[in-house]
């Protein structure tokens, strides 16, 4: 079961990329006197005009509280809000009642972890008893996780007495999948891992993790933040139990995330955030909760953002996710090959021959990542610097920070080449200062 087959689709032509770029006015801006080279989509993507127009049109013409009012405007707003949920569900191959809106993917992952924690103290019983953790139980993550898919599990282990274990990486940054047989045991209750590393760009073998977890009855939680925007992803086919991703990394607005969960699991989990709009009956002593997805959507929702996200999904669908993957596969290979030719640059993670999205992170000994990033910014090249919310991964690879270039459907080969040309210039510049 493969999540991406870049060799089966044609990458975008130069003319097609140029047409994409015309939809993103910001890409025509200049920074420090240079044309903007935006290589920071791994942090947040840019938004096309159609997404901005969709949100503006909704606010101008149909803005109202959803699921609350009986008037016409409220009904129109609710219909469009729920249509957006259905649109996102189809994009990842699931049912609309399995899609929960959150503020971001971090909140989505926290929602799962805290709901399991609530089940562990008896909330939602008897339906939720299957999720309860305690001493002797184990949670398995990996050494390359983003903090958003590590810290919630640390906290859950601390609250329940469960033990947190992890799949290590080797010296090249590759996951030690060969250790799954000994790390996944009858005590394992949750296996949580990133589909695509936000630092290395490498793609995890989902099938192996799912098979090992389900063989012992463990839940699988997939951090899909860096995969759903860049690869054709069918969550049902992947057979994961929960997943999380964010709108702002895939041409959509900030402030909106997605939690996917199998319907029967979501309906059995006790809620995490509580309040209005997610209940059936409230007395002064107790409350009863709606089924998924409303049981996890307390309070006023991100209505215009959801509408805008549906427009972003439409844009990606029109482009073709198989072609997005093929385009990024080529850009990623170009990045890796070009960096390999630069003396004094260390590419983090496996090199050529490893399936990846269009992401590359580098460490240049003697130059702090922030200094390299500032040098690049002076030339209008926007990249991400730091530990990218993955301190354990950087620590394992022997560095405290790296410089990350990340691409998308609107990224050109010329932009990649501009980055590759600027890095050796930076090495010469900072070498001359020493």
Q: What residue ranges do the domains of the chain occupy?
A: 6-48+320-427, 52-317
What CA–CA distance (Å, rounded) separates 408 from 257?
Answer: 19
Active-site entry in 93, 389, 413, 417:
389
Decide if 384 contacts 42 (C-beta within 8 A): yes
Predicted TM-score of the model (pTM)? 0.95
Structural class in CATH, domain 6-48+320-427? alpha beta
Decide if 247 contacts 312 (C-beta within 8 A): yes
Other beta carbons within 10 Å of 209: 26
What pLDDT is recorded for position 352? Answer: 63
Sequence-separated (6 or more) residues with CB below 8 Å from residue 15 = none
What CA–CA distance (Å, rounded) separates 369 from 346?
Answer: 12
Please confirm, yes or no, whether 225 is among the known catalytic residues. no
Q: Tens digits of per-residue pLDDT, 253-304?
A: 999 999 999 999 999 999 989 998 898 999 999 999 999 999 999 999 999 9
Q: Tens digits of per-residue pLDDT, 207-238?
A: 999 999 999 999 999 999 999 999 999 999 99
Give the closest residue to 250 by CA, choosing from 265, 263, 232, 237.
232
Please give the structure tokens belonging to residue 273. Answer: 């955030």
What pLDDT is recorded for position 277? Answer: 85
Judged on CB neighbours under 10 Å (0-12, 13-18, 19+), 377 is middle
Fold designation for 52-317: 3.40.640
Question: What is the CA 86 to chain-centroid distance, rounded?
Answer: 19
Write out the H or E segment, with its range, that includes residue 88.
Answer: helix 72-91
10-residue mean pLDDT series, the chain (434 residues)? 56 98 98 98 98 98 90 95 98 98 98 96 91 97 98 98 98 95 98 98 97 98 98 98 98 98 96 90 92 92 97 98 97 95 93 82 96 98 97 96 98 98 96 66
What pLDDT is recorded for position 125? Answer: 86
What pLDDT is recorded for position 4? Answer: 45
Angle at 253 between CA 277 and CA 41, to 5 degrees: 140
What pLDDT is recorded for position 6? Answer: 43
What CA–CA distance (Å, rounded) separates 103 from 83?
Answer: 18
What CA–CA distance (Å, rounded) separates 11 from 322?
Answer: 9
What pLDDT is recorded for position 350? Answer: 79
What pLDDT is recorded for position 355? Answer: 80
What pLDDT is recorded for position 8? Answer: 67
Write the DSSP symbol of residue 65: -
């Amino acid at each position: 079961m493969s999540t991406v087959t870049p060799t089966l689709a044609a990458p975008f032509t130069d003319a097609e990329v140029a047409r994409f770029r015309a939809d993103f006015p910001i890409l025509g801006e200049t920074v420090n006197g240079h044309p903007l080279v935006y290589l920071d989509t791994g942090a947040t993507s840019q938004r096309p005009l159609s997404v901005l127009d969709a949100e503006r049109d909704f606010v101008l013409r149909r803005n109202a509280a959803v699921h609350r009012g009986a008037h016409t405007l409220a009904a129109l707003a609710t219909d469009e809000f729920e249509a957006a949920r259905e649109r996102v569900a189809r994009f990842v191959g699931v049912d609309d009642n399995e899609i929960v809106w959150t503020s971001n993917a971090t909140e989505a992952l926290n929602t799962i972890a805290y709901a399991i924690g609530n089940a562990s103290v008896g909330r939602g019983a008897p339906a939720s008893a299957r999720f309860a953790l305690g001493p002797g139980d184990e949670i398995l993550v990996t050494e390359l996780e983003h903090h958003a898919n590590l810290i919630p599990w640390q906290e859950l282990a601390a609250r329940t007495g469960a033990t947190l274990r992890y799949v290590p990486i080797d010296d090249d940054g590759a996951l030690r999948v060969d250790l799954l047989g000994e790390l996944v045991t009858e005590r394992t209750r949750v296996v949580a891992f990133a589909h695509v590393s936000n630092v290395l760009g490498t793609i995890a073998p989902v099938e192996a993790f799912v098979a090992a977890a389900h063989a012992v009855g463990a839940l699988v939680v997939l951090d899909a933040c860096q995969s759903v925007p860049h690869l054709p992803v069918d969550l049902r086919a992947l057979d994961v139990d929960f997943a999380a991703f964010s709108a702002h990394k895939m041409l959509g607005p900030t402030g909106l995330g997605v939690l996917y969960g199998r319907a029967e699991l979501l309906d059995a989990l006790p809620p995490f955030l509580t309040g209005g709009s997610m209940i059936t009956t409230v007395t002064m002593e107790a409350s009863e909760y709606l089924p998924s997805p409303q049981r996890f959507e307390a309070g006023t929702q991100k209505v215009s953002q959801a509408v805008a996200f549906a427009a972003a999904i439409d844009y990606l669908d029109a482009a073709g996710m198989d072609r997005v993957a093929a385009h990024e596969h080529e850009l990623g290979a170009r990045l890796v090959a070009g960096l390999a030719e630069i003396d004094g640059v260390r590419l983090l993670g496996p090199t050529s021959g490893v399936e990846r999205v269009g992401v590359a992170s580098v460490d240049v000994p003697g130059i702090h990542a922030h200094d390299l990033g500032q040098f690049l910014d002076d030339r209008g090249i926007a990249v991400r610097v730091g530990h990218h919310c993955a301190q354990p991964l950087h620590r394992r690879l022997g560095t405290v920070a790296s410089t990350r270039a990340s691409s998308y459907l609107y990224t050109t080969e010329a932009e990649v080449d501009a980055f590759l040309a600027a890095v050796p210039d930076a090495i010469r510049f900072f070498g001359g200062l020493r």
